[in-house]
Amino acid sequence: MAPSSARSPPPARSAGRPPGPPAPRARRPRRGRRPRAAPGPVARRRVVSARGEEPRDADRVDAALVDAVHRTGACAGGVYLREDGAPALRLVAVSGVPVESTGPWRRVPLSAPLAVGEAVREDRVVWVGPEDDTARASPGGTPHLPDHLALAAAPLHAADRDWGALLLMWPEQHPETATRRERGAVAAAARRVARALDDSASAPVLPDPPRPVASTPAPSPQGAQQAAVDYVERLPEGALALDLEGRITLVSGEAAELLGLDARRLLGTRPWQSLPWLETAVVEDHYRTAVVSRAPVSFTVLRPPRERLRFELHPDTSGISVRITRAPASGTGRRATDRAAGTSGALLPGAAPTGRLYQLVHLAAALTETVAVRDVVDLLADQVLPAFGADGLVLSATDAGRLRITGYHGYPRETIERLDGLPLDTVLTPAGQVLADGRPSFFASPGEMARRYPDAPRISGKQAWAFLPLIVSGRPVGCCILSYDRPRTFSAEERAVLTSLAGLVAQALDRARLYDTTRALARGLQEALLPRTLPALPGLEVAARYLPASHGMDVGGDFYDVIRLDPTTAAAVIGDVQGHNVAAAALMGQVRTAIHATAGAPPDQVLMRTNRVLADLETDLLVSCLYLHIDLAAREALLASAGHPPPLLHAPGLRCGALALDPGPLLGVDPSLAFPVDTVPLAPGTTLALYTDGLVETPGTDPEEAAGELARHLARHAARELDPLIDSLLAHARPTGHHTDDIALLLLRTPPNG
């Protein structure tokens, strides 16, 4: 029985069951993955609203979700959609579980180790068996999904658009592995949901909280209902019935007596709202387990002052039946059974923290995984504000005697601009004084604030505030401000929890600022080492892109360059230094300088001289490199490779594919080794694609197959201008934008008119 806010969406209704010649010296590309087949014809139901009209766009998606749950035999499901401008998924519709139980999983970063994120990143159906603990933890360490629950996630894509992912869940009775037919049913269900999204007349809305979706239950005769009530009243134990939103729909007289509250005051409420002694973290965990896993759960709770009650929760797709009995004395009877079954024993007063403190514990785990300041701000906005009922957030950091705002939520931009950069001794807000004293300040109303800081209420328009100093090892690092749109009294318990929260946020903010500073330094170093512009040469078109890795320090050793030698000759180079750190970026600059110094010599000599430079530097890092000497007058290029992936060649009348070069050793292995040289003709309209391995190497895939797919895409779009073409190649290779390695891509083209 999970603690919940007082206001909730309407209860969900229970669900019913209802080809050409090969290029010279070109490597024959291996067969890639088969193109995604178009979905076959499926009988599509016409869903109408209660007024008999055509449904809203959301109704189409909701109907497709319910259909997916029914067809696959799942007990629950949800639709996640991509957020605009953020690498994250948002839960927009859920069927089979109450909306309140979805809080920890409503927003999922694409990089999170969850099934929905993996399904989108890898464009495949992801299955997690009941005994598999991987892909089960929630983002940022928030409460995990119940154990012994089977999950399937499938990407939602149709009409060349990636919408997000479909998540389906089965109870613990499901086998550990899914059959081939089940996986096919999940994929087919995802296609139907994606088509419903494509059929939408407008862009889908991302609601918060997500929409509860359910089917209409079959009506029951009045007589059968009365018979069921009479049966329950004759039982010697208490009985409650909860709907999937946690509301009490039936309470027996014995249950009302055991709970100590009149039945009329219980009906229509949630147990933890009417009975505060049920608002505990352990009860919340058991309730969440029951509604999500559909598995029976039992636990014992102490009703003040000394009455011990045992609750047994029996869930299904329509709600939860709760059996209430008096528990035997401690250490006897059912409690031993509880221990054997792995459920809780007695919950004594003070033994379990409040729901808010419970959230604070999980927030501590989440903050340990934040990396950048933006991550800290997003986590606070997504989890802290709802947990404490706050409406606004300002996170500021000390910088040269001033308070610089590093993130905010719930404020207009003009207000933030006015508050940003205030001196620490400002009299406009309490933030500076809070940092100087090291003690938090709480203001329950604008009048209380105005007595000490008259201008503060007029600046923000808020009605209550909590100013929390962020201090690390006695050193102030910033201030966290939670604000409210209505006056609010802060209890002693809430003040204590918020003070503890400030310590967690301070550590995370200090660590994140250090990371951001280091990343900015590394990125600036790399940008300084890469060419700002590429030279213009008559008879040669060039375009290049560099993408840092999606995670980590955003710095690596990938490099490229085009060097003008004279009006008819040029050199092109691409390479990759081992590693992703400042040392790799620094070595990349030295290698690029060495190549510049020897450019114009034969390709093998350029690589040999650069190899000797690496030997003199005595570095432990290895470098792959591809060097081209381009002679536009002779319409040919001389190539030498130091262990680098071969370029893709597209020329009129030839099949596009990877060149079959004779690769030489990596730079840094042995300064005495030689490098073979190959010759490639450059007929008018020839395109060469030079790239680093980050473009084609992903876990679980064959780089040669990926290069073959890229070559086929290049052949289909070779007529496009170079800038749109290079962007198209990157989007094809990394449709989700997620890549664990740096990527450099350089395109060279001779005009078709010669």
State phi, psi for 459 to the nearest 5 degrees: -70, -45
Give the least confident one: 47-56, 250-259, 611-620, 732-741.
Answer: 47-56
Q: Which of 79, 117, 119 is nearest to 95 (CA)?
A: 79
pLDDT at 513: 86
- The helix-helix angle for 355-368 and 281-293 (nearest 10°) equals 80
Q: Is the preceding omega at residue 305 within 30 degrees of 0, hence cis?
A: yes
pLDDT band at 193 (very low <50, low <70, confident <90, very high): very high
Q: Residue 746, class by beta-carbon neighbours within 10 Å (0-12 exposed, 13-18 middle, 19+ buried)?
A: buried
Most confident region among 335-339, 386-390, 512-516, 687-691 by mean pLDDT: 687-691
Query: Quick check: 26 pLDDT over 50?
Result: no
Give the least confident one: 120-129, 147-156, 441-450.
Answer: 147-156
Give the least confident one: 185-194, 242-251, 334-343, 689-698.
Answer: 334-343
Q: How large is the average pLDDT for residues 62-76? A: 89
pLDDT at 620: 84
Q: Which of 245, 252, 298, 294 is nearest to 272 (CA)?
A: 245
> Do 89 and 193 touch, CB atoms closer than 8 A?
no
pLDDT at 599: 93
| pLDDT tens, position by position, 418-429 | 888 888 888 888
pLDDT at 609: 94
Pairing outcome for strands 557-566 and 422-423: unpaired
Query: Quick check: 455 pLDDT over 70?
Result: yes
> Do 519 and 553 touch, CB atoms closer than 8 A?
yes
Give the least confident one: 172-176, 295-299, 488-492.
Answer: 172-176
Neighbouring C-alpha atoms within 13 Å toward the C-beta of 494? 15
pLDDT at 493: 75
Q: What is the DSSP letter of 384?
A: I
Tokens of 715: 């052949």
Pairing outcome for strands 107-109 and 88-95: antiparallel
Q: How large is the average pLDDT for residues 190-209? A: 83
> Do 570 and 537 touch, CB atoms closer than 8 A?
yes
Most confident region among 109-123, 219-233, 326-340 by mean pLDDT: 109-123
pLDDT at 306: 82
Distance CA 368, CA 376 (A): 10
pLDDT band at 636 (very low <50, low <70, confident <90, very high): very high
pLDDT at 29: 35
Supply the Cα-derived Rg of the chain in whole angstroms.
32
Give the least confident one: 47-51, 277-281, 409-413, 705-709.
Answer: 47-51
Dihedral sign from CA coordinates of 63, 245, 295, 146 = positive
Q: Residue 326's beta-bridge partner residues?
A: 309
Query: Quick check: 544 pLDDT over 90?
Result: yes
Q: How large is the average pLDDT for residues 527-544? A: 86
Q: How large is the average pLDDT for residues 167-171? A: 89
Query: Quick check: 285 pLDDT over 50?
Result: yes
* pTM exceeds 0.85: no
Distance CA 117, CA 135 (A): 9
Residue 633 or 130, more confident: 633
pLDDT at 551: 52
Give the residue ranges of DSSP H helices in 148-221: 180-198
Q: How large is the average pLDDT for residues 483-491? A: 90
Q: Residue 41, class by beta-carbon neighbours within 10 Å (0-12 exposed, 13-18 middle, 19+ buried)?
A: exposed
pLDDT at 754: 58
Query: Quick check: 70 pLDDT over 70?
Result: yes
> Do 596 and 588 touch, CB atoms closer than 8 A?
no
Q: How large is the average pLDDT for residues 333-341? A: 37
Query: Quick check: 11 pLDDT over 80?
Result: no
Residues 6+ apart with CB under 8 A from 542: 534, 535, 562, 572, 722, 746, 747, 748, 749
State phi, psi for 457 to the nearest 5 degrees: -65, -35
pLDDT band at 40 (very low <50, low <70, confident <90, very high): very low
Give the rounded percent of residues in the chain with a pLDDT score beyond 90: 27
pLDDT at 18: 34
Query: Quick check: 52 pLDDT over 90?
Result: no
> Do 90 and 206 touch, CB atoms closer than 8 A?
yes
Distance CA 240, CA 309 (A): 14
Q: Which of 471, 498, 503, 455 is nearest to 397 (CA)?
A: 471
> Do 744 and 564 touch, CB atoms closer than 8 A?
no
Query: Quick check: 495 pLDDT over 70?
Result: yes
Residue 284 or 91, more confident: 91
Give the least confident one: 94-108, 326-340, 445-459.
Answer: 326-340
Amino acid identity of residue 464, one-letter, is: A
Q: How large is the average pLDDT for residues 605-626? A: 91
| In 274-391, beta strands by DSSP E | 297-303, 307-315, 320-326
Distance CA 555, CA 584 (A): 8
pLDDT at 714: 93
Distance CA 639, CA 681 (A): 11
Q: How far apart are the first and last CA of the chain?
A: 75
| pLDDT tens, position by position, 696-740 | 887 777 888 889 999 999 999 988 999 999 999 998 888 766 666
Residue 344 or 211, more confident: 211
Distance CA 548, CA 557 (A): 10
Long-range contacts (CB closer than 8 Å, 24 or more residues apart) made by 474-477: 476/398, 476/435, 476/436, 476/438, 477/397, 477/398, 477/506, 477/509, 477/510, 477/513
- What is the SS3 assignment for 459? helix
pLDDT at 1: 44
Tokens of 50: 């209660």
Distance CA 582, CA 580 (A): 7
**Burial 572-611, CB ≥16 within 10 A → b, else e:** bbbbbbbbbeebbbbbbbbbbebbeebbeeebbbbbbebb
Q: Which of 246, 214, 225, 256 is nearest to 93 (CA)?
A: 214
669 torsion bin: left (phi>0), alpha (psi -120 to 50), beta (else): alpha
Give the least confident one: 279-288, 438-447, 529-538.
Answer: 279-288
Query: Quick check: 87 pLDDT over 90?
Result: no
- What is the SS3 assignment for 68? helix
Q: What is the overall mean pLDDT for the chain? A: 79
Q: Which of 382, 305, 332, 347 is nearest to 139 (CA)?
A: 382
Tokens of 613: 């430079």
Pairing outcome for strands 161-170 and 150-158: antiparallel
Query: Quick check: 555 pLDDT over 90?
Result: no
Give the least confident one: 44-53, 287-296, 522-531, 547-556.
Answer: 44-53
Residue 753 or 649, more confident: 649
> Do 561 and 572 touch, CB atoms closer than 8 A?
yes
Residue 687 or 234, more confident: 687
- What is the SS3 assignment for 53? coil
Distance CA 149, CA 459 (A): 50
Amino acid identity of residue 584, one-letter, is: A
Q: What domains sit in the chain, N to C, each tagged with a CATH number?
A: 57-213 (3.30.450.40), 222-341 (3.30.450.20), 355-521 (3.30.450.40), 530-749 (3.60.40.10)
> Do 690 and 544 touch, CB atoms closer than 8 A?
no
- The helix-helix angle for 492-529 and 582-598 (nearest 10°) equals 10
Residues 6+ apart with CB under 8 A from 69: 15, 75, 76, 77, 95, 96, 168
pLDDT band at 333 (very low <50, low <70, confident <90, very high): very low
| pLDDT tens, position by position, 500-532 | 888 889 988 888 888 888 777 767 776 777 788
